[in-house]
């Protein structure tokens, strides 16, 4: 097999490529080792002075290279500086890349194939030593059917929010037993087209949501799972309803507050809720509702908690933590929680 010898002007790029692939703080390279890689991988036989000159040029070009210096007496009895232990300082540490990859793995809105593509790109930001640490992710099972338009949807939403324009889309309402999506339809079995005012995108509980209001009902914030948005279009001729006209946004959008009040992102009216909770779940309460919750002493084993939250979300949360809490107010929600709990108990009491 014949190999084409690369031109000398490629030398500096080949040296940079070697640093990217084989160097980090724990794997430093001497000029000799770089030369051996150049000869083996690029068929370039280069002396150490030329290698050092190109390394220094990379520093001049803005690349962050670290190296060590020492002095020695050469054959002519003159003192000269020797450089060694070269490595490229990464934009991301391995720990930071690991965190980003884990975030993708734990995500519930990015389909498997797209997740693997992103992980491969993140791996490429490190070197060969990093890749060997994440081989186990290749066996991760597919979590979701692929939505090839997901990133396009995100791009359109980002553009719409930036330009303050409305968007239109269809929405996956359900999946059949064949695991294929079912778009939401109206009473006439016609696919529903949503026209909304997009204000923010947010990630919570491993999922990605659009926070918006409907064109014809601009007073109430609504949340849509972005993964389920399909056939999206930017409506260049329709400007969004100004935030000042949306009651929840008239004083500016407080994302942490919104997320705390919509713990399951159901949307709907925000109400004040009071419940009794065992002391040992206070940490869970703070995790879910944030530090704006109000807490009062009740007795040695329990506290009284007051939060502002979506009523539907609170119903789900109360059922999730039913063994550890008791809903107190409002009466309507206490009644709903009790009815749901009895319904569950009846199902398990039939055997």
209-223 pLDDT per residue, tens: 899 999 888 888 888
pLDDT of residue 218: 82
Q: Is the pLDDT confidence value at 61 over 70?
A: yes
The two tokens of residue 162 are 């930036």
Helix, strand, coil % over all residues of the chain, rounded to 5: 40, 30, 30
321: which 2 tokens? 């933590």
Backbone φ, ψ for residue 173 (5° rounding): -90, -30
pLDDT at residue 257 tops 60: yes
d(CA 128, CA 152): 31
Collapsing DSSP to helix, strand or coil, 1 comes out as coil
Residue 238 belongs to what H/E stretch?
Answer: strand 229-239
Dist CA 326 CA 299 (whole Å): 14
Q: What is the pLDDT of residues 72-96, one digit of tens each?
A: 887 787 887 788 999 999 888 887 8
Angstrom distances, CA of residue 144 to CA of 120, 150, 218: 19, 12, 32
pLDDT at 28 over 90: yes
Euclidean distance between CA atoms 287 and 231, whole angstroms:
35
Query: Sorting pLDDT into bands at 50, 70 and 90, what band is 109?
Result: low
Question: How much is the average pLDDT of 111-125?
Answer: 82
The CA-based dihedral angle spanning residues 52, 54, 56, 59, taken in that order and rounded to the nearest 10 degrees: -140
Give every CB contact of residue 230 below 8 A, 6+ residues apart in sequence.
147, 149, 153, 169, 170, 171, 172, 181, 183
pLDDT at 149: 79
More confident residue, 9 or 333: 333
Residues 6+ apart with CB under 8 A from 59: 65
Mean pLDDT of all residues belonging to the chain: 85
- For the entire predicted model, the pTM comes to 0.59
């Amino acid at each position: 097999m014949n190999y084409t010898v690369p031109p000398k002007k490629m030398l500096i790029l080949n040296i940079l490529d070697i640093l990217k692939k084989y160097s980090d703080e724990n794997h430093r390279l001497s000029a000799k080792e770089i030369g051996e890689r150049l000869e083996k991988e690029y068929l370039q036989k280069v002396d150490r002075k030329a290698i050092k000159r190109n390394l220094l040029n990379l520093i001049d070009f803005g690349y962050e290279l670290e190296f060590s210096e020492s002095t020695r007496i050469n054959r002519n009895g003159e003192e000269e500086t020797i450089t060694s232990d070269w490595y490229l300082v990464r934009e991301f540490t391995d720990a930071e890349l690991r965190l980003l990859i884990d975030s993708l793995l734990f995500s519930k809105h990015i389909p498997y194939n797209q997740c693997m593509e992103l992980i491969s790109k993140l791996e490429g930001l490190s070197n060969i030593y990093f890749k060997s640490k994440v081989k186990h992710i290749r066996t991760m099972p597919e979590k979701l059917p692929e939505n090839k338009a997901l990133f396009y949807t995100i791009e359109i939403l980002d553009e719409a929010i930036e330009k303050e324009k409305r968007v239109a889309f269809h929405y996956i309402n359900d999946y059949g037993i064949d695991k294929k999506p079912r778009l939401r339809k109206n009473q006439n079995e016609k696919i529903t087209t949503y026209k909304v005012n997009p204000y923010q995108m947010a990630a919570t509980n491993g999922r990605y949501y659009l926070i918006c209001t409907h064109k014809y009902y601009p007073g109430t914030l609504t949340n849509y799972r972005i993964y389920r948005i399909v056939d999206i279009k930017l409506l260049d001729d329709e400007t969004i309803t100004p935030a000042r006209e949306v009651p929840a946004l008239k004083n500016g959008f407080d994302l942490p507050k919104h997320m705390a009040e919509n713990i399951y992102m159901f949307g709907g009216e925000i109400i004040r809720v009071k419940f009794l909770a065992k002391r040992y779940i206070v940490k869970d309460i703070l995790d879910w509702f944030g530090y704006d919750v109000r807490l009062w002493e009740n007795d040695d084993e329990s506290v009284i908690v007051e939060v502002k939250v979506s009523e539907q979300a609170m119903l789900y949360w109360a059922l999730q933590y039913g063994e550890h809490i008791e809903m107190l107010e409002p009466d309507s929600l206490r009644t709903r929680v009790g009815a749901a709990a009895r319904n569950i108990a009846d199902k398990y009491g039939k055997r």
